[in-house]
Structure 1
Amino acid sequence: MNEGDTPRRKVTSFDVAERAGVSRAAVSRTFTPNASVSPETREKVHKAAKELGYRVNYLARSLINRRSDLVGVVAAGMDNPFRSQQIHEIAKALVGRNFRPILLPADEAESVNRMMDQLLHYNVSGVLVTSDAPPTALCEEFAAHAIPIVLINKGDAIAHVDRVISDDETAGRIAAETLLEAGATRLAVICGAEVSYTARRRQEAFLATCRGLGASAQAMPVAINDYGNGFAAAAAAADFDGLFCVNDYMAFGVIDGLRAAGRDIGKIRIVGHDDIPQAAWAAYDLTTLRQPCDIQAEQAVELLLGRMDAPRMKERTELTPVTLIRRATA
């Protein structure tokens, strides 16, 4: 705009209705997902909107409807490639149902009150909370404010809060059986059990299966299930010939740490968990348990939609299946 020019008036839905020759209500229905409107009317409205440069103000609409199309996604551990893959699938599942995800990164320094304040100001329709995103108090606050919430891979049992959990017991069992079938006799599971509900469940199932099969196995604790701690654990891991790393990200650290120490990787069987894309890279070629992010995201969003319609129903839990992906390491 040049100096002295009159500011252009903002285009409204009334302008679109006049240009299209339809009612204001018809314009509203056209831009409301799943609303009933004839193809002819829809075409007229979209044509008029495009000509006028009209855009729906979704935030303003949420104030009128008292429910927005925004869904909060609370996540931590974004350095792990699995988390970015998981967030990607969650976003796709939400957008496919005409919701808009709003991501809030959470770590130990994040204030619960600040996060709650942000989500309440945006009038979100619901919240999805991924594993490692603390704390339980945050989830309880959402529920107390009648905000529908679904937890993904978190162990917290909270009234009226649904959960989607990966089938960690099956994963731990398959990991143990796979290593034993590959000829390993001295087994270990590398796991930060204190910081992750799912990792703890995988570790427990792995050790229980080994005991049941009469195999020697022990837990190797780490602070966090990440690449750096995996690399550091490689020194002690060299004493074993069968390793279960509770996620692929840490398994990569173990493999690189063993190589850096000059160990023969071919003599150590390794199984990971998640099957992130990097697991198939030639540098790792990792045998792992696939945790399907797309299925998990669909489960979580379906639970959230059900919770929006019936916020006081009894809490529900769904298991996400896992599948063994065999590659060179086991």
Structure 2
Amino acid sequence: MRRVTSFDVARAAGVSRAAVSRAFTPDASVSQKTREKVYQAAKDLGYRVNYLARSLTNKRSDLVGLVAAGLDNPFRTQQLENLARALIARNYRPILLPTSQHADSATVIGQLLHYAVSGVVITSDAPPSHIFEECATEAVPIVLINKGEDFPFVDRVVSDDRTAGYSAADHLLESGATRLAVVAGTAVSYSARRRAEAFLSHCASLGVEASLIPVAINDYQHGHGVAEQMLDLRIDGVFSVNDYMACGVVDGLSKTGKAGRSIKVIGHDNIPQAAWAAYDLTTFLQPSDLQAEQVIELLTSRMAEPDIVARVEFTPVTLIKRRSA
């Protein structure tokens, strides 16, 4: 059976092929009457736009790459869903390329460039600078989420980690805790490092004793594994730099059988599991829906103006109080 083409649609709708193309192009100049005639003809004929063919003509597809690691963390899943929804709402198509914590994301981004992507959003570790130069040469904008490095023409969206660290210390003290700690894998995460530094510096400014309990990875298993250490240090208030790890801390403390001496726990991200009765976790809301809107705004504005200076947007956080602290 012969494939239906845009010429067939144009003939059936009584319009030019250019009008068909405009009708299927978001924000293109075409009357509502013409657009409706084209859509009806396309529906009757079973025509679908071949976006890959269009990208060959335009030298740019409507694909936007999402590069992410740590997909076992519920917050990352939530974050990617909001990014995907925000892209689709603007007629872009997200393409997910998972990577690992220690993999070279430059390789993954290099693969995306073969698909003439319109942009790249990175939630994993920032790649080496040469890939940014490649993307700039090909006019492919990049937005980094919760990354600290500054690069020319690369925009960033960063959670307000300083407020989180300060507020976590204040809330633990107000809740009656006196020996504080922060659990963080500072070597592997910019956000973890920033939150831990803010927490410890604020405690120092208040003259309060506080410890860093380092972990290799900010995940459930490593949170679970530091419970005994916290008891040995006689900690009574702890800030875990993400909820995923905080859930591990709570379960680890419960498993020791020594959790009668209450240890107040605060997390970060407000993942769905934080509200479960087993955790009832005090935490910081990092609104990934707002964050996604910030990312897409930076991405689309740089598509329009590739040479504007690099920008940083901060995502506000809000303390959600529950039973854990």
TM-score, normalized by length of structure 1? Answer: 0.94
> What is aligned with 1:4?
none
Once residues 109 and 188 of structure 1 are traced to their aligned partners in structure 2, the CA distance between those partners, rounded to angstroms, is 27
Alignment of 1:1-330 (within 5 A): 8-107=1-100, 110=103, 112=105, 114-132=107-125, 134=127, 138-238=131-231, 239-264=234-259, 267-330=262-325
| Closer, same or farther: CA 228–139 of 1 in aligned 2, 3 Å | farther
Amino acid at match of 1:156: E
| Closer, same or farther: CA 119–326 of 1 in aligned 2, 3 Å | same
Once residues 60 and 100 of structure 1 are traced to their aligned partners in structure 2, the CA distance between those partners, rounded to angstroms, is 15
Once residues 227 and 129 of structure 2 are traced to their aligned partners in structure 1, the CA distance between those partners, rounded to angstroms, is 33
Give deviations 1:199-257, integer Å, cap 9, x for gaps. Answer: 10000000111111111101000000000000001111222100000000000001011
Once residues 261 and 303 of structure 2 are traced to their aligned partners in structure 1, the CA distance between those partners, rounded to angstroms, is 51
In the TM superposition, residue 117 of structure 1 has moved relative to its aligned partner by 3.6
| Closer, same or farther: CA 211–112 of 1 in aligned 2, 3 Å | closer
Once residues 324 and 45 of structure 1 are traced to their aligned partners in structure 2, the CA distance between those partners, rounded to angstroms, is 51
| Closer, same or farther: CA 229–214 of 1 in aligned 2, 3 Å | same
Once residues 61 and 139 of structure 2 are traced to their aligned partners in structure 1, the CA distance between those partners, rounded to angstroms, is 14
Once residues 256 and 106 of structure 1 are traced to their aligned partners in structure 2, the CA distance between those partners, rounded to angstroms, is 28
Kept after mapping to 2: 8 A contact 1:291/1:320 = yes
| Closer, same or farther: CA 66–101 of 1 in aligned 2, 3 Å | same
Identity of aligned residues (%): 63
RMSD across aligned positions (CA): 1.6
In the TM superposition, residue 109 of structure 1 has moved relative to its aligned partner by 6.5
| Closer, same or farther: CA 269–308 of 1 in aligned 2, 3 Å | same
Kept after mapping to 2: 8 A contact 1:279/1:286 = yes
Secondary structure, counterpart of 1:32 in structure 2: coil
Amino acid at match of 1:72: G
| Closer, same or farther: CA 140–244 of 1 in aligned 2, 3 Å | farther
In the TM superposition, residue 44 of structure 1 has moved relative to its aligned partner by 1.4
Kept after mapping to 1: 8 A contact 2:67/2:121 = yes
Secondary structure, counterpart of 2:313 in structure 1: strand
| Closer, same or farther: CA 139–121 of 1 in aligned 2, 3 Å | same
Kept after mapping to 2: 8 A contact 1:108/1:134 = no
Amino acid at match of 1:99: Y
Secondary structure, counterpart of 2:265 in structure 1: strand
Amino acid at match of 2:204: R
Q: How many residues align?
A: 323
Secondary structure, counterpart of 2:239 in structure 1: strand
| Closer, same or farther: CA 257–68 of 1 in aligned 2, 3 Å | same
